[in-house]
Amino acid sequence: MGRLFGTDGVRGVANADLTAELALGLSVAAAHVLAEAGTFEGHRPVAVVGRDPRASGEFLEAAVVAGLASAGVDVLRVGVLPTPAVAHLTGALGADLGVMLSASHNAMPDNGIKFFARGGHKLADELEDRIESVYEEHRTGAPWQRPTGSGVGRVKSYDQGLDQYVAHLIGVLPNRLDGLKIVLDEAHGAAARVSPEAFARAGAEVITIGAQPDGLNINDGCGSTHLELLKAAVVEHKADFGVAHDGDADRCLAVDHTGAEVDGDQILAVLALAMREHGTLRHDTVVATVMSNLGFKLAMEGQGLALVQTAVGDRYVLESMKEHGFALGGEQSGHVIILDHATTGDGTLTGLLLAARVAETGRSLADLAGVMERLPQVLINVPDVDRTRVKTSAELTAAVSDAERELGSTGRVLLRPSGTEPLVRVMVEAADIEQARSVAGRLADVVKSALG
């Protein structure tokens, strides 16, 4: 069996890869592993369980709740809430475990299970590995030891979660949003109620699209992966700007008043300068991945800020932030982590802080985002090659060196083998789009000949 846990929990097609039996079994295994680790010692264990609005989340939630309760864990069902809300409530309610059912920005047929440790933090890799191995042991052999009588877990609905989370978000804001007109695209997802409520309570005039989840329409032509509707709505309503979330609202992308996209790099740049001004950008450092636009790096250097770059994936950004005590990090895709106020990427929080900066400065989002110039970026996927030889091919190494010499300090080359497919990603940035296309095309040809 391949590893169940990926970089963001267990994910797959609901009722095909991710079945009710798997959800139940993993939940029981998680309860046993955390009990072994001493997490439940001296008290009756409690778990917070939430989900996004996907239809499959209904039966998967039932399976997770059944698994946890059968293992003696009391369950608080918080219903449809964003991933960062479930993480926050896990910490705020002093729960031993949090479980979120969501496949984030994936299409509706997919779903996923993400576990949070006490405090709302991502479960350590070694605990995920242990859960997987314990699940597999019991799936193929020994029966579980199960409590009986009063030892079984009790299940309650916890209906205060939305208000509690929104109050937390409002409490973080440095200033109100009065006078701003903002369009929110909720991707028919988990933030359909939370985000409009938070922005309105903070004083903004709110126009919502993509906020009628029916279990089947999540991420369907809307949200952070499809900005066309938001761009049109911002221009039509003459709004100050727009904010788009994904299905579980751990991401935020924006659109300025002209309808132009403001990506995660630009959002990070705006927030970094705001946080430095307020004295909350620890070590004057921002954490981002190697996929961040070179324009972001140049902008941060120009502003006297340090940039730490990690491997691709918000988990690596978070690891670096925790290890070194940094306050702000994120990805071009809109995962932004503000560690003083959240344990994971929080799209609603990010959008609110972006709006607060616009309100505080009186400047447009387009003006604020202009602190960085996005350099043209060309990405070519080269399929059917031996991705394991990217670092050992002399021919490819020489071609990359030639390309880097040609681009100089205003360009960049990044070759990344895919972690899951037999392909290599060739990414080239340059001040000129034609040069970027030319260099990327040549490198893709060398990848084919050297690794094919």
pLDDT in tens, 234-266: 999 999 999 999 999 999 999 999 999 999 999
Q: What is the pLDDT of residue 141?
A: 77
- C-alpha 226, offset from chain centre: 16
User: Is 364 labelled a binding residue?
Assistant: no
Low-confidence ranges of the chain (pLDDT < 50): 1
Catalytic residue among 104, 195, 292, 333: 104
Q: What is the pLDDT of residue 161?
A: 97
* Listed residue (173, 168, 200, 172) closest to 184, CA to CA: 200
Q: What three-state secondary structure class fits 236?
A: helix
How far apart CA 329 and CA 232 sit, in angstroms, is: 29
- pTM, 2 dp: 0.92
Q: What is the pLDDT of residue 14?
A: 96
**What's the start-to-end Cα distance of the chain, in Å?**
29
User: Is 250 labelled a binding residue?
Assistant: yes
Q: What is the pLDDT of residue 314?
A: 84
CATH of the domain spanning 377-451: 3.30.310.50
User: Is 224 labelled a binding residue?
Assistant: no
Burial class (CB in 10 A: 0-12, 13-18, 19+), 27: buried
User: Is 125 labelled a binding residue?
Assistant: no
Topology (CATH) of 5-159: Alpha-D-Glucose-1,6-Bisphosphate; Chain A, domain 3 (3.40.120)
Tokens of 13: 């097609």
Respond yes or no: is residue 104 known to be catalytic.
yes
**CATH 3.30.310.50 residue ranges in the chain?**
377-451
Q: What is the pLDDT of residue 389?
A: 85
Q: What is the pLDDT of residue 106?
A: 92
**CATH 3.40.120.10 residue ranges in the chain?**
5-159, 163-369
CATH superfamily label, 163-369: Alpha-D-Glucose-1,6-Bisphosphate, subunit A, domain 3 (3.40.120.10)
Tell me, what amino acid is at 267? Answer: I
Contact 27, 63 (CB under 8 A): yes
